[in-house]
Amino acid sequence: MPSTLYQDYPPDLTQGEEEYLLSNLKDWCIAHGIAVRPPPSFVSKGQDPSGVLATTAPVTLFPSLFPRSCFDEAHAIQTTYNELYAAIARDEEWLYGIVKELVGIDDFTAKLWEVHEAVKKEGYVQVGLAGPTYRIEFLRYQALTLGLFRSDYMVHLDPSDSNASPEIKQVEFNTIASSFGGLSGEVSQLHNVLSKIRAYPQSAKRIITKSNMPVSESASNLAAGLAAAHHAYGEPQISRETCVLFIVQDPERNVFDQRHLEWNLQKQDIRTFRLPFHRTLIDTRLDFKRKLVYTPPHAPATAYEVTTVYFRAGYSPDDYPTPEAWAARLHLERSNAIKCPSILTQLAGCKKVQQVLATPNSLHLERFLGTKEKIDRVRATFAPIYPLDSSEAGLEAKKLATEPETAQRYVLKPQREGGGNNIYRMAIPKFLKSEPEENWPAYILMEMIEPPAQKNAIFRNGEVQKGGVICELGIYGACLWRNELEGSGTKSEVLKNTQAGYLLRTKGDQSEEGGVAAGFGAIDSVCLV
């Protein structure tokens, strides 16, 4: 990676050029649904009484430079990552070994586990598929599970070696509500269009070329995952129509991202509905075979059998303000619908699992992945991560985290999703001082990945912000698997396992968080170098 390339990019725009680029960008974004609803504060002031307003989602003006070798490797290993997390989600015993460390100190994880336990005790349900008579089987496992995953990376360049090649290091692995797959493809199209209409200066034409700007196919690929689950569900009760149910937050600003997936499903004649999580117990019921039946409030005469429940809510404690919310989660988990994800799959994505997998000299990857090649390639993406417990590594990590000089190389993460939950660098020692030491094992300590410096411009809330940026690449994965009883154990079959497109998110280099929805980052696309 010649560093001058990074220094000279992106090309400067004259005022006229910037105006031309922005006028195209703004219209293209709205016309193609790269949009978000206004913030609740805006709505509560009565400024959008009919709920019709939307604004451009934060996007970058230019595609960011990204090493081609890193991009290719991240794609190449995604199916192995899918395989790994599907295997973890199936290995209840191994997962419990991790969850039990958290149960006394992390209420949210404990509650999720309780839901799983309650359903297991009763037996997961699977209605016998073919045949005139229905047979209900009670299983120890969910029969079919869908994972729509996203593995996130940053580029790491060894600062002590000027000849080092860039490598990807994993930030985290998401197993629930992995967002922006709907908008990402549109943003990569946007940058391609801006290049085509020569909104970028001619000085950059050798870098910003079509062959360097792959379009992300994430919306159609994620929808294909949902469609595969929908079709694998089997036959509905005669006379019932079927649907895929999106469980959503309410209000949801990022609705268009989700709509892109719905529209892709509708093209395939699959019905989709959006169900605010808090309405679950009002609008759905379980029939005597524990099939999930959804009655749309706008058309109460038609009941739909839900084949697949797709969670875009339910990942954060804020989604469970009342005991009814937990009852709703239990209700969905008990149902015969395919869950994306199941509780076990959600828990497989907790930060603690990532830390345990990254334990040096451990054999966890060997447990889940067949070949040495797969294991080595996955392991090569791990950044150092430590527990904060009483193990030898944990005691060492506690020292690192409590001294300001060493703490500044780390990020402290609780078992949470959705952005805005981490504690960074110098803030870690003070934070830990305020937290009783018996709670520290609920966190993991991770070395900060320091990607190469580069610049870009972000269009956010109608303003252009220029400066140093940090990019995070996400690779989506779609994985559908079936568990079957075999003798006293179970066997499993992976029905679908694909890489499902990419997301590039870019944030100002002064910001520690990168979440677009949380208000820190922008959606970007890659310009491969």
Query: Which residues belong to the active site?
Result: 150, 172, 174, 179, 351, 413, 417-418, 505
Q: Shortest approach of ligand ADP to residue 313 CB, angstroms?
A: 15
| Residues 375-394 interacting with ligand ADP (rule: CB under 6 A) | 383
Contact residue for ligand ADP among 18, 101, 172, 435 (CB under 6 A):
172
Contact residue for ligand ADP among 171, 187, 224, 229 (CB under 6 A):
171
Q: Could you give the CA distance from residue 395 to residue 375 in angstroms, rounded to a whole number?
A: 28
292 versus 523: smaller Cβ distance to ligand ADP? 523
Q: C-alpha distances in angstroms, 279 versus 81, 182, 325, 445?
A: 34, 24, 9, 37
Please report whether residue 305 would count as binding Mg ion according to CB under 5 A.
no
Secondary element (H or E) of residue 66: strand 64-66
Please report whether residue 106 would count as binding ligand ADP according to CB under 6 A.
no
Q: Which residues are annotated as a binding site?
A: 150, 172, 174, 176-179, 252-254, 258, 312-315, 351, 413-422, 424, 446-449, 472, 505, 507, 513, 516-517
33 versus 514: smaller Cβ distance to ligand ADP? 514
Nearest residue (beta carbon) to ligand ADP: 514
Q: Shortest approach of ligand ADP to residue 520 CB, angstroms?
A: 8
How many residues sit in the footprint of ligand ADP (CB under 6 A)? Answer: 19
Contact residue for ligand ADP among 341, 445, 514, 527 (CB under 6 A):
514
CA angle centred on 86, ends 80 and 91, rounded to 5°: 125
Please report whether residue 348 would count as binding ligand ADP according to CB under 6 A.
no
E strand spans, 220-356: 241-248, 272-276, 284-286, 292-294, 304-311, 338-340
| H helical segments located in 380-457 | 392-402, 404-407, 427-433
User: How does 433-456 read in b/e, with b if 16+ C-beta sit within 10 Å?
Assistant: eebeeeebbbbbbbeebebbebbb
| Residues 161-200 interacting with Mg ion (rule: CB under 5 A) | 172, 174
DSSP 308-327: EEEESS-SSGGG--SHHHHH
| Residues 5-44 interacting with ligand ADP (rule: CB under 6 A) | none
How many residues sit in the footprint of Mg ion (CB under 5 A)? Answer: 3
Please report whether residue 472 would count as binding ligand ADP according to CB under 6 A.
yes
Q: Could you give the CA distance from residue 185 to residue 191 in angstroms, rounded to a whole number?
A: 10
| H helical segments located in 248-291 | 255-267, 280-283
Q: Which residues are annotated as a binding site for substrate?
A: 150, 176-179, 252-254, 258, 312-315, 505, 516-517
Say if strands 144-156 and 463-486 run parallel, antiparallel, or are unpaired.
antiparallel
Please report whether residue 411 would count as binding ligand ADP according to CB under 6 A.
yes
Go through the chain and tell me how many residues it has. Answer: 529
- Reply yes or no: is the peptide bond before residue 10 cis, omega within 30 of 0: yes
Please report whether residue 417 would count as binding Mg ion according to CB under 5 A.
yes
Contact residue for ligand ADP among 449, 457, 479, 503 (CB under 6 A):
449
Contact 174, 349 (CB under 8 A): yes
Q: Shortest approach of ligand ADP to residue 245 CB, angstroms?
A: 24
Please report whether residue 151 would count as binding Mg ion according to CB under 5 A.
no
Task: Please name every residue paired with 458 in a beta bridge, in sequence order, or none if there are none.
Answer: 60, 465
Q: Shortest approach of ligand ADP to residue 451 CB, angstroms?
A: 8
Residues lying near ligand ADP in the complex (CB under 6 A) are found at 152, 154, 171-172, 383, 411, 413, 417-419, 421-422, 446, 448-449, 472, 513-515
